[in-house]
Amino acid sequence: MMVLPLSPGLLSFLLIINISLALTILLVAMVINESLQFSVFPSLLLLTTLFRLSLNVSTTRSILTNANAGDVIETFGEFVVGGDPVVGFIVFIILVVINFVVITKGSERVAEVAARFTLDAMPGKQMSIDADLNAGMINEQEARERRRNIEREADFYGAMDGASKFVKGDAIAGIVILLINVIGGLIIGVTKFDYSISESASIFTILSVGDGLVSQIPALLISTATAIIVTRAASDGSLSEDVTKQMFSFPKLLYIVAGTIAILGLFTPIKPITTMPIAAVLFFGGYKIQQTQVQEQVIAEQMEEEQELEHVRSPENVTQLLQVDPIEFEFGYGLIPLADANRGGDLLDRVIMIRKQIALELGLMVPVIRIRDNIQLTPNQYIIKIKGNKVAEGEIFLDHYLAMNSGVEDESITGIETVEPAFGLPALWVNEENKEKAEMSGYTVVDAPSVVATHLTEVIKRHSFELLGRQEVKTLIDNLKETQPALIEELTPNLLSLGEIQKVLANLLKEKVSIRNLVTIFETLADNAIYTKDPAVLTEYVRQALSRQLTQQYTEPNQPLKVITIGPSFEKKIAESVQHSEQGSYLSMDPNTTQIIYRNLSDEVNRLSQMGLQPIILTSPVTRMYLRQLIEKSMPDVPVLSFNELEPYVEVQSVGVVNI
């Protein structure tokens, strides 16, 4: 085509082929899901550009030689631009500006940036493939395929960066060819065909403009295809699917657009006959899309329910029934507003605060608390379960307040008699009218959600040692390992196993000793684990290392520590009753002596409680652990301390002695 002259009929055929090819490329670019599906595009862009330039050479030769370039060019020159060369020239310039300044320049920049970022991301993608391969998530064949795709992607965007220059050069060549055709045609028309200047300008300008339009329209289509390909990102479907899905996902916005267009027709000189049909179409479109979305949501919910039902029916679902939640909070239907945020319930927020409070006080990460309603309970009843077993229950009234007296009961305060669930104190449920009256009478008044939160907190504290399993200890160790790697490497698994550490921490929690200071606890275990593996003995060493913490826990500033001490005969009896075995040491005492000890201790504990003091038993370090084993079931809330667990500056005052 560049060398041999072609007939006008063949030129017209090839020009139609050029337009068809450009339109095909544009449509393919719109329907592909990812750029690599059209990886031949950079080479195809070069070939189509050369083909179009070859046609330009042939049409220029035909125009300047015969003043005729076929029906296609003549039609574009006469019909499309109305036979007016000025209008045609302006349209051509506009097309060139759109193609060169807007589309071509933008796609060139996008291709350049995409190529740069693709190359920069290659090392990270390669490392991700290697990690997946080492983890066994993919096999060697899949790894090779993914590496090949990365290389193809980098090659593609690199080629697109260069191929976009073809489109830019093609737009410049179109302008130059048009000017050559117009100027050359004017000269040849006057000298060769004996046309007047005006006749020559009219004929050759129309043909040149027609030739330019026939060339620029396919160029514009291919430039658009180039821009579509290089701007595709984060797409899972074709361009039409993405546009439809993303632009019309918010039908309510179409109502706003429809209203705006309608206002333009009603309150501006724009006639309503122009705006109202468009506003009506937009409003109807928004309505139909909204209805479709509702139907799709209903269908999706039905499918989800069917899948859940099918999942329940499946035999494999039985394994899920074996799982037991660490903590469960169940309540009757009358307490549903307690957990419903839409009705003002703040139980979920309170649970979050409880978990934070336990973490600060005891150093324990409380597992997720399962909250559910139970129709088998009475409307105002709730129960608390630990590992599937009920450990506490209570009854509250959401429209009442719990009033607890401080020692002086006011008979004028009326309400529903009850017992405060967390500490077992006598109390009344009073209504809104008696609330202020109860507060004026010295009662402590709290709302129902606070009662539940306090009860749940105390239950978690009381059973915290049951909630600390090996997995929770592993989490604590991994967390500490980030800041104390040397300590963890020395302690486990060389000196103590995970289970042995768990038993020591559980022993501390069982006596309400915080394990938040894990560094001190683990250092003490590392120092003493070389001598003994007995968790009970190791617990005693840790308690002594936490003497400052225990002192602050049980003493008040500038106040003596009032305790119940153990007499010499009592300690001697305990020492004589200790039995040693391969599994450790334990206390073996006859039932009669045990009953005497229980009675004497109970008398002293009750006496201190009536005095308003916290009962604390103080004994020697040798007998502390055995005395604790003796009374932990009958008096689980009474602290037992040894002299080594108190700081030297603490003033100890004995207010009772227990002997046998």
pLDDT tens digits, one per residue of 206-224: 777 777 777 777 877 877 7
What percentage of the chain exceeds 70 in pLDDT?
87
Rounded Cα–Cα distance for residues 342 and 424 (Å) = 32
Query: What pLDDT band is residue 200 in, cutting at 50, 70 and 90?
Result: confident
Q: What mean pLDDT comes out for the span 505-510?
A: 94
Question: Per-residue pLDDT for 381 more than 90?
Answer: yes
Report pLDDT digits (tens) over 106-140: 666 666 666 676 677 777 777 777 777 776 677 77
Is residue 348 within 8 A of residue 339, CB to CB? The reply is yes
Backbone angles phi, psi at 344, to 5 degrees: 90, 5
Average pLDDT of 488-507?
92
Task: Name 458's Cβ contacts closer than 8 Å, sequence gap at least 6.
Answer: 422, 423
How would you classify residue 514: left for phi > 0, otherwise alpha for psi between -120 and 50, otherwise beta?
A: beta
Whether residue 228 is predicted with pLDDT greater than 50 in this model: the reply is yes
- Note the pLDDT of residue 383: 95
Alpha carbon distance 588, 575 (integer Å):
10
Residue type for 121, please?
Answer: A
Position 581 confidence tier, pLDDT thresholds 50, 70, 90 = confident
For residues 386 and 77, which has the higher predicted lDDT (pLDDT)?
386
The whole-number pLDDT of residue 79 equals: 65
pLDDT at 163 > cutoff 70: no
**Beta-bridge mates of residue 168:** none
Looking at mean pLDDT, say which of 143-157, 199-213, 615-629 comes out highest: 615-629
Taken in order 404, 408, 413, 419, the sign of the CA dihedral is: positive
State the pLDDT confidence band at 456, using cuts at 50, 70 and 90: very high
**41: pLDDT strictly greater than 80:** no
**What's the confidence (pLDDT) of residue 234?**
45
- Token pair recorded at residue 272: 């309503």
Q: 404 pLDDT exceeds 60? A: yes
The pLDDT of residue 443 is above 80: yes
Q: Which two tokens stand for residue 568?
A: 């010499």
pLDDT surpassing 80 at residue 572: yes
Of 200, 169, 196, the C-alpha closest to 182 is 200
Residue 600, pLDDT > 80, answer yes
Q: How confident is the model at residue 39 (pLDDT cuts 50, 70, 90)?
A: confident
Q: How many CB atoms lie within 10 A of CB 510?
A: 18
Q: What is the pLDDT of residue 319?
A: 60
- Residue 320: predicted pLDDT: 61
Range with the lowest mean pLDDT among 25-39, 308-322, 591-605, 620-634? 308-322
Read off the pLDDT of each residue in 37-63 and give the average, rounded to a whole number. Answer: 80
Res 401 pLDDT > 60: yes
Amino acid identity, position 337: P
CB 203 within 8 A of CB 189: yes
* Secondary-structure breakdown of the chain: helix, strand, coil percentages, each rounded to the nearest 5: 65, 10, 25
Give the pLDDT score at 571.
87
Q: What is the C-alpha to C-alpha distance for residues 496 and 51, in angstroms, rounded to an integer?
A: 79
Residue 182: the pLDDT is 73
Res. 84 pLDDT band, cuts 50 70 90: low
Q: Which residues contact 536 (CB under 8 A, 6 or more apart)?
A: 507, 584, 585, 625
pLDDT for position 588: 83
Lowest mean pLDDT among 291-295, 406-410, 560-564: 406-410
189: pLDDT strictly greater than 60: yes
pLDDT average, residue stretch 81-99: 69
Q: Please give the mean pLDDT across all residues of the chain.
A: 82
SS (H, E, C) 259-286: HHHHHHHHHCCCCHHHHHHHHHHHHHHH
* pLDDT at residue 65 tops 70: yes
Record the pTM. 0.56
Look at residue 42 in the predicted model and tell me its pLDDT. 78
Instruction: Give me the DSSP letters along 556-624.
Output: -TT--EEEEEEPHHHHHHHHHHEEEETTEEEE---HHHHHHHHHHHHHHHHHHHHTT----EEE-HHHH
SS3 assignment for 388-412? CEEEEEEECCCCCEEEECCCCCCCC
Phi first, then psi: what are they for 404, rounded to 5°? -115, 130
Cα(421)–Cα(383) distance, integer angstroms:
11
If you average pLDDT over residues 390-412, what whole number do you get? Answer: 84
